[in-house]
Chain A
């Protein structure tokens, strides 16, 4: 029971963080009415774990143009989550990529043109993890993994993972259809976000309507809402 109680608490903390990011992304070019830089409060293990789950998307408003910069709390959380959870050498590739993506986002928002509220540049993360494991993955598992790594679906992101994804647009589109059919809204939203940065998406997919459908059916989950809003912003031409 303790396990499930902890799990529920963590899910609640992730939802809170995701909800804040989703709010900041709302409205595209307009500043959020709910700024992320709420007064700092003490953060515990639960917040750190939640930050690790959300990963680089915690800083997404600061990465995309025309969205409010991340608040001091989010930046602090992101920094500490990055330091607290270095992936072991045996980590699953998605874990390694997720950590790398968080480092990349920290480097972006703390750089000279970054939007971080406090000084202190975070260096480039280490070398990219391996992406070859994804090259031959069947389209259902490709989509599953990419949805987990949706924080890397950014307009100008160029890394080994995005290069693999760019060569498999139809497979990701199939994965989007599969996820919607199976009512896996989180995976559908993540795949939908990837499709906004991939070339030659089949027009018969009906992606804009599909994203609206995902929001309508699964938008009660803040993580779904975050991905859908990110997809819309990126699809509308917002850059980093």
Chain B
């Protein structure tokens, strides 16, 4: 049985690192047009999604709740300039779903940007938006976001789900790193980022319960902490999480004293703070995410058992 304190500590330390390095979440308004202004929105979007999970689960503790709220405020006011950067991105690429995806977790927490919502409403009516060519699990994510926004998903989530790797429950021995990430994201979208474990169809939950232990074992041995963290999130979304002890202990052991979580093996040797941030922010966010969901599930299982 994994020590819940150990799981919780991973998240608390990750959040401290994110707060201390919040200036790393920044856009590049003057970026080369070939790279694209919206490229730098990804970290902000992930920060919004995951901090909203921390808030929602309410198990992180009062200091962690304050830090999560502080990070969201920072992202909205400083990075997104009160939302104006989202509009600017939308005007640069009117058909892009990215500004709206970044916006939705903030909107659900009370931040407001009506002009961006008008763009989303218009785009939703366009066949071009529904026809955008994307990976199947991202298409599923877009449909899930439309439903969360109160829009009718185009295509429906069931249709989008059917095209994903996970929905076909293929041979588990064929999984490589990129497929594993497709699996984790399909689960995130189906469960509304862990909020609704029942969103995972029983057939897929059974499949994951059978094979997830192997993948946890594998990516733990490979010391691929970023992917291991996402797989631990998937575990916490299952009807009966395993809270895999060996995986959690290795994950906690990989975390640096300041709370940073390396992506693979150890931290890169660099003095460039932004370069280090770009490598570390995602696994550290994932660590906070996995810790919060696993702690929440462990506590609710405990409550049901008593």
Contact = CB atoms under 8 A, between A and B. Distances in A.
- What are the 7 A-B residue pairs with the smallest beta carbon separation, nearest first? A206-B171, A180-B173, A177-B173, A177-B214, A204-B169, A174-B214, A177-B172
Interface stretch (B205-213, B286-294, B295-303): B205-213
Contacts of A170: 210
Contacts of A213: 173
A205 B217 contact: no
B171 A205 contact: yes
Contacts of A139: 213
A204 B175 CA distance: 13
Nearest to A188: B173
A205 B174 CA distance: 10
5 contacts: A178-B214, A178-B218, A181-B218, A204-B169, A206-B172
Interface residues of A, number: 18
Given A181-B218, A182-B218, A204-B207, A174 B173 contact: no
A81 interface: no
B33 interface: no
A174 B175 contact: no
A176 B173 CA distance: 8
Nearest to B176: A181
A140 interface: yes
B170 A177 contact: no
Per DSSP, chain A at the interface is helix
Interface of B: 169-173, 175, 207, 210-211, 213-214, 217-218
Nearest to B169: A204
Contacts of B170: 204, 206
B173 A181 contact: yes
A182 B171 CA distance: 15
A205 B173 CA distance: 8
A202 interface: yes
A20 B84 CA distance: 74
Nearest to A176: B173
Given A181-B175, A182-B218, 6 more contacts: A174-B210, A177-B211, A178-B217, A181-B214, A204-B207, A206-B170
Interface string A138-174: 0110000000000000000000000000000010011
A136 interface: no
Contact of A205 (B172, B175, B213): B172
A182 B220 CA distance: 13
A174 B211 contact: yes
A219 interface: no
Contact of A210 (B171, B211, B218): B171
A140 B218 CA distance: 11
Contact of B213 (A174, A206, A209): A174
Nearest to B172: A177
B234 to A, nearest CB: 16
Contacts of A173: 210
B200 to A, nearest CB: 15
Nearest to A171: B213
Nearest to B213: A174
B6 to A, nearest CB: 20
Contacts of B171: 204-206, 209-210
Nearest to A173: B210
Nearest to A203: B169
A62 B171 CA distance: 34
A185 to B, nearest CB: 12
A140 B173 CA distance: 15
Contacts of A205: 171-173
A140 B213 CA distance: 10
Contacts of B175: 181
A135 B85 CA distance: 60
Interface string A106-143: 00000000000000000000000000000000011000
